Amino acid sequence: MSFRSITVSFILSVAICSTLTAQQNHVLVLDNVGEHVLVPHSPSLAASDAITVEYWVNFKNTTGFGRIGKSAPSDCQWEVVLYAAPNQSGFNLHGPPVDVNQWDAPSNRWAHIAATWSKASGTGRVYVDGTLIKETTGASADMLNRDFPLYIGHLPGFSNTQLYGMVDNLRIWNIERSQADIQSTMHVQYSTSDAAALPALMASYSFEDGATDATGRNNGQFVGGAGVKIDSSFIPTAAVEWPIAQGGNGSWFEIGVRDSSISYLDAVEAATAVGGHLASLTSSEENLRVYQLSLQTTGAWIRLPNWHWGPWIGARRATPAAPNFIWETGEPFSFAAWMPGGSNCGVTQPDSTTQDYVCMSNGCPTDTSPTWSDSENNEGARPFVIEWSADCNSDGIVDFTQIRNGTVLDADGDNIPDCCVSGGPCEPCPADLTRDGSIDGDDLARILAAWGSTDASNDVDDDGLVNGKDLGLILAGWGYCTD
């Protein structure tokens, strides 16, 4: 979880963004043709020389495309169009000759989409999960201002424009946000007070209070049966995946930052409390990956005149004062990145058998580096690196990945699949008792008919009793499955 934005088991700090738990987070649900949010045009939604549109989406289309944009039947001011077909999605603008087309929209998982453009650069860009995937440069010109409404999810009269799935944290800006800006706030949910401090923010929809705009200027209305639901599979988080497809190990990492000091042993407890562990950096590539993440995280390094203290990682001496080190996870300690020391760079590490715990550190006064030193348990204020690497159902996929994309249930928000706690099967949609692909009245009827019994076929959470907990899971997942 993001320790600056989300409360899960405890609060580590208070920041500008709203706190939420897995059980509290609401998302826009679009199940059927015609469902959308309508936002009337207003001058406060006008943008001419720059724009950024960003949102989280779990895209379910199997045909056609899903649209979010200021549009009319024959024209648009701007639109982001996600296609079911590969290499067809686009970001289109009216006025400047710039369309950023032919990119893939992730499907059947939560993904962050951001589309940016400015007259100054003449370049349109599309980012997926904070990574630039496509850009197109054209002539500089104003975007033509149209008084079209904003349609979120569907353009009325055109059934093939229906976006099927879920949307959350849609934000529209009158500036071109940088990649660093997008990455730094993509996991943050803005409150009304947050929005008031952001003059470039034209509209912000978290769907926690219907289709209310956090800026207070551009409230929307649900049309055609669109609505919200609590979705435990989506938790905005600052965790970053190291994908296997990119040479990684599939783990997720996040730098936990507190406003007060935290000891190594407390950091171990804090990481465990959110379903993870202090990071095991078992290769130079993994070490560099986490170091780069630390550089992108405000407060991850404590810079002193003659030393730079970085975050705790999950290594310690095997026993107090022992010469050898171990990882908290029990993985082999076959790689190390000890600070080498030398002229003006501190003492070669590890340097003391009384310092049993390991953090990133650099004794050179000029900069940080991906090196380590040993340290005492309570030595200074420390951020810490959390890693989620568990695969409790042994299917070859990290549990945290499956929780995020909704293929396993984590109703209590502890970042551990419920099936791995209860011992039940890790089904992608356990509340779909009839196994027809949706959670509806038939499933509700089965719960009510079996109420109070030990009927395992209707015990959604596998706790041995059909009761209110199972009913809650039926209602929370109402509409369709996320498999």
Tokens of 232: 């435990």
> Of 360, 388, 416, which residue sits at a domain end?
388
Is 235 within the bounds of a domain? no
**One domain for residues 216 and 249:** no
Per-residue pLDDT tens over the stretch 313-368: 999 999 988 889 999 999 999 999 998 865 456 667 787 777 899 999 887 666 78
Kindly state whether residues 320 and 446 are assigned to the same domain.
no
Query: What are the tens digits of pLDDT across the range 253-267?
Result: 999 876 556 889 989
Closest CA to 149 of 30, 69, 35: 69
**Domain assignment present for 346:** yes
User: Cβ distance 146 to 155 under 8 Å?
Assistant: no
Please report, in angstroms and rounded to a whole number, the separation of the first and last CA atoms in the chain. 23
Domain membership of residue 400 (yes or no) is: no
Q: Quick one: 314 and 263 in the same domain? A: yes
Q: For residue 393, is it within any domain?
A: no
Predicted model pTM: 0.56
DSSP string across 371-437:
-EEEE-TTSS---EEEEE---TT-SSS-HHHHHHHTSS--TT-SSS-HHHHH-----S-TT-TT-SS
Residue 176 maps to which CATH number?
2.60.120.200
Torsion angle, alpha carbons of 453, 457, 463, 467, to 10: -40
308 is a domain residue: yes
Q: Are residues 179 and 261 located together in one domain of the fold? A: no
The predicted pLDDT at position 270 comes to: 86
Average pLDDT over residues 173-193: 89
275 and 302 co-located in one domain: yes
Q: Give the separation between CA 111 and CA 119, rounded to whole angstroms.
A: 27
Tell me the residue range of the domain where 86 lies.
26-230
Q: Which of the residue ranges 123-132, 135-144, 222-231 would you say has the lowest mean pLDDT?
A: 135-144
pLDDT in tens, 17-67: 333 333 357 899 999 999 999 999 999 998 888 999 999 998 999 999 999
Q: Is residue 483 part of a domain?
A: no
Decide: helix, strand or coil at residue 469.
Answer: helix
Please indicate, yes or no, whether residues 259 and 165 belong to a single structural domain of this protein. no
Q: Is residue 76 part of a domain?
A: yes
pLDDT at 441: 86
Pair 97, 121 in one domain:
yes
Whether 35 maps to a domain, the answer reads yes
Task: Show the DSSP H helices in 202-295 as ranges.
Answer: 264-273, 284-295
Are 58 and 183 found together in one domain?
yes
